[in-house]
Amino acid sequence: MATYKIAVLPGDGIGQEVTPEARKVLQLVAKATGLGLEFETALIGGSAIDAAGTPLPPATLALCQGAHAILFGAVGGPKWDNLPQEQRPERGLLGIRKELDLFANLRPATCFPMLVDASPLKRSVVEGTDIMVIRELTGGLYFGEPRGREEFADGSARAVNTMAYSSREIERVARAAFDVAMKRRKRLASVDKANVLVVSQLWREVVTRVGKDYPQVQPEHVLVDNCAMALVHKATHFGTNVTEDTFGQLLSDEAAILAGSMGMLPSASLGGKGGRLGLFEPVHGTAPDIAGQGVANPIAAILSASMLLRYSLDRGPDGDRIDAAVLRVLEQGHRTRDIHSAGTKLVGTIEMGDLICREVEKSY
């Protein structure tokens, strides 16, 4: 069986606490299945600034370039907040995304049945939610040219950003989205603003063309404003959604509310090597308010490891076992502090990781 190299970049704050738990689960899967996984850890973000003077040391980038997948924690914290933009911890993550050409961001929003009441939305809206929001990461409004600001003699100013896409950029994210939809409920909503924006009309045209190669998937085109509304009143309508960068940022944050806590949300950024190289990370940050206390919820990181198996190593059934193990541990009533409520059992980061490992082990 092939051996896969996994770059492990815990980063800062609770990244250093939750990433080892995700790695522990992957090691267990490797042991149970004979899958060859080779782990190598490297510095990134604030801890790399402290040790090597830069948020993305060349050795870390080289490790990522040679890896099959990257397991990432989170970067940043108050200690480095006053550094100039170019030297801040976030530059480490942005640098990897750029160098590895990670062009599609995947954020699932799944409502766990036992956490329905943790969502501020009604049970009837959130129950059964299982959406994957895919956001293009390299073009669109954030990176389109021309962009900039001009100042005028009369004291006024003008600023410009441009939402721009080439058909190639749309096609590769559309293919990634159809591939993902094939691994889930075969339903794809392409979200745009084609009634107003010419860039969205091109987006729609290309997605329609790519869709012809995926006759098993049921595609639809949805206007972004309609999608924003539908997410909070008929979320279960959606399976996989694909959209432009800015639209995707807004919609994936909105969808996150459906899932309850920050500590439960995994993500993946795919690209490089024909869309198979991926960076897998929890959506949350370094949580300086709880870092070092052993109370962080490792579930987002562990579900990111499940995505790593599914999307970079094509080991979907192993990912399913991890997802099911998380569900079982929650069903048994174990909770970290962020999702704890009366009548449930409070556990710390490592204990939650151990409980999930035990359930994964039992499943083989």
According to DSSP H, which parts of the chain are helical?
Answer: 15-33, 46-52, 58-65, 90-99, 123-126, 140-143, 167-183, 198-211, 224-231, 245-259, 299-307, 316-331, 349-363
Site string for ligand NAD, 82-101 (x = CB under 6 A): -----------x--------
Least Å distance, CB 189 to ligand NAD, is 26
CB of 363 vs ligand NAD, minimal distance in Å: 24
Are the C-beta atoms of 45 and 75 separated by less than 8 Å? yes
119 binds ligand NAD (CB under 6 A): no
* 303 interacts with ligand NAD by CB under 6 A: no
Residue in the shown chain whose Cβ atom is closest to ligand NAD:
285
Query: Residue 139 — φ and ψ, nearest 5°?
Result: -120, -140
- Considering the rule CB under 6 A, would residue 9 count as an interface residue with ligand NAD? no
- Give the max Cα distance, the chain: 72
Nearer to ligand NAD, 190 or 286 (CB): 286
Would you call 279 exposed, middle or buried from its count of C-beta atoms within 10 A (0-12, 13-18, 19+)? buried
CB of 197 or CB of 262, closer to ligand NAD: 262
Answer for the pair 81, 45: CB distance below 8 angstroms, yes or no: no
CB of 261 to ligand NAD, least distance (A): 7
- Angle of helix 90-99 versus helix 58-65 axis, rounded to 10: 40
Q: Does 290 bind ligand NAD (CB under 6 A)?
A: yes
Q: Which of 76, 211, 219, 319 binds ligand NAD (CB under 6 A)?
A: 76
Q: Report, in Å, the least distance between residue 95 CB and ligand NAD.
A: 12
- Cα 253 from Cα 46, distance rounded (Å): 25
Site size for ligand NAD (CB under 6 A): 21
192 versus 281: smaller Cβ distance to ligand NAD: 281
Q: How many CA atoms lie within 13 A of 76 on its CB side?
A: 14
Residue 263 in contact with ligand NAD, rule: CB under 6 A = yes
The one among 288, 340, 354, 361 contacting ligand NAD by CB under 6 A: 288
The window from 31-39, 195-203, 280-288, 312-320 that contacts ligand NAD (CB under 6 A) reads: 280-288
Query: Rounded to the nearest 5 degrees, what angle is found at the Cα of 100, between the Cα atoms of 276 and 291?
Result: 95
C-alpha–C-alpha distance, residues 267 and 307, integer Å: 8
Residue ranges binding ligand NAD (CB under 6 A): 14, 18, 74-77, 93, 262-263, 281, 284-290, 296-297, 300, 338
